[in-house]
Amino acid sequence: GWKEGFTYQMQSFQNERIYIAAGTIAAMDRCMEATIEYTSQRKAFGSSILDNQYVHYKLAEFQTELECVRALYYKCIEEHVAGHDVTPLATMLKLKSARLARVITDGCLQFWGGMGFTEEVIVSRMFRDLRLMSIGGGADEVMLNILCKFMGTAPDMRH
């Protein structure tokens, strides 16, 4: 009946959110790799940009955040394979990975300077394209609403 159809649709949303996160994680990996390569080769004031403490510390922070999202991804996959409802985990994963993609692509783009705004630079395209991840598969605000319902903090859940 229609109730089963609704359930299947909701389950497919969780799959979609996991797929979005997987693609986003892979793209952030590539963004980091390209930026590390570029900043190690690009010279400013006699040394590579990567030698600047701010730059390599910031990249280390980005990598740390990326690994946290990757761990959430693996946990979500494990739960999904075990047959558990992953709605809260998939929602958190999609929300966090999409938001982190904006932070990492913006930060990496900064290290490319003016070169980062040319179309042939992969980080420039990622900066533009990964913005969609906070919209597709449910906007960030939709993800937050779902999480609030699961947490029991949404107004309609408290009254």
Q: Roughly what angle, to the nearest 10 degrees, separates helices 140-151 and 87-112?
A: 140
Contact between residue 118 and residue 124 where contact means Cβ atoms under 8 Å apart: yes
Closest-CA residue to 14 (of 99, 96, 82, 91): 91
Three-class SS state of 86:
coil
SS (H, E, C) 11-63: HHHHHHHHHHHHHHHHHHHHHHHHHHHHHHHCEECCEEHHHCHHHHHHHHHHH
**Positive or negative: CA dihedral 106, 132, 100, 121:** negative
Give the residue numbers marked as catalytic: 16
